[in-house]
Structure 1
């Protein structure tokens, strides 16, 4: 099933016409029509279109996973009451701090970097949220996505949660990767001989990259963990 078919299916399942979907997304009806006719392979509005139709943005953009959105998969009662907090607010009993990973230059002017945990940047997660994803508290980290290679699903500046214990690659899943000291988020696929294919959602500008097992070792390319959560500001 291609993007045009997925969008048409999602729109009809939501009971929306092309005009209604376009109005809610703040775009022209012609833009929706072009996607559904296969004239456009991608769009910066796919995340918003997916949210309006109530489907998973990754499924809509890439066709992997299921159409059911992560929001509808979760039981709303799990969210609990919403409270206001800042960095000085102590953790509740059912919360944990999850640190961010960052690129750190080894020495001035060398241009070489390594991936380390940040000592001050962190995000709060509910223990139940992590437990429901099968993530151990001490194995969860956050990563900031930079650039446009994972658009429209993950725009520049998006945050993803990564399970450091889940390094065995499952085709079509997103992973954080240490690429010689560069922190990257990609959809991975296994290739014969122990190699990996890196795939971006924005394939028009970022075609697939393939690495043999030898190139992975020589290039210092390591799978850090699987993405289990992401947050996007529209």
Structure 2
């Protein structure tokens, strides 16, 4: 069963639970002219937009998360599918692998677990076959990012808090490896992926800075020590899970 079909089941269940006997009645309460929108949603033949999910939730008296996931956002579940996990992280349109791309959408690889040692990692995003996140082409154009050179990765640890809490997702432009002081970059540090703000030092060295400076003081790398570090790309977007 696709995510759209599961969402359709949630809407129908919540509609009946609220005592709204027909799709036409729900459509009217939502301010929609046609019953077909609710019918398509319940049938799973149409993807529910975030704005429509909020309208449905308000009419049905539930948390918007119940429309999509079938449970309130405050509840914790351990059986979330891969499609739902990607959806929960992205914060964009509600979709799954069966939903076709629109004319203004592209998919970008999402590396949920990144291993950089032994040459693996996100340097070649063209051959990726795992989970992906969807971005509007217009969004990428504003940041001058080519979709074929972009990837998303998950942030681990607390070194970039409070800006990037553990579990945040960042978009990385792998074509941008020249350091601009104070910008965030993904780096391969001796086989470990790290997200840091970078600063150039005289003589070609680098200073790595974390936002959580109380626990993570600045790091300086010069000379031979600099060989441990390879810049993967510049961070152009991030999504935060609170």
| Structure-1-length-normalised TM-score | 0.58
Instruction: Measure the CA separation in 2 of the matches of 1:140 and 1:157.
Output: 19
Q: Which residue of 2 aligns with 1:104?
A: 115
Q: Which residue of 2 aligns with 1:115?
A: 121
More strand by share: 1
Which of residues 181, 192, 208 in structure 2 aligns to 1:198?
Answer: 208
1:121-174 deviation digits (Å, cap 9, x = unpaired): 211111110011001111111111000000000000000111111111010000
Equivalent residues of 1:114, 1:182 under 8 A apart = no
Residue segments in structure 1 that go unaligned for 5+ positions in a row: 1-81, 107-111
1:56-105 deviation digits (Å, cap 9, x = unpaired): xxxxxxxxxxxxxxxxxxxxxxxxxx853222211111111111344337
The structure whose Rg is larger is: 2
Instruction: Measure the CA separation in 1 of the matches of 2:157 and 2:217.
Output: 14
| Structure-2-length-normalised TM-score | 0.56
Report the aligned-residue RMSD: 1.9
Q: Which residue of 1 aligns with 2:101?
A: 91
Instruction: Measure the CA separation in 2 of the matches of 1:166 and 1:188.
Output: 13
Instruction: Measure the CA separation in 2 of the matches of 1:201 and 1:83.
Output: 30
* Residue aligned with 2:188, SS: strand
Q: How many residues are matched?
A: 146
More helix by share: 2
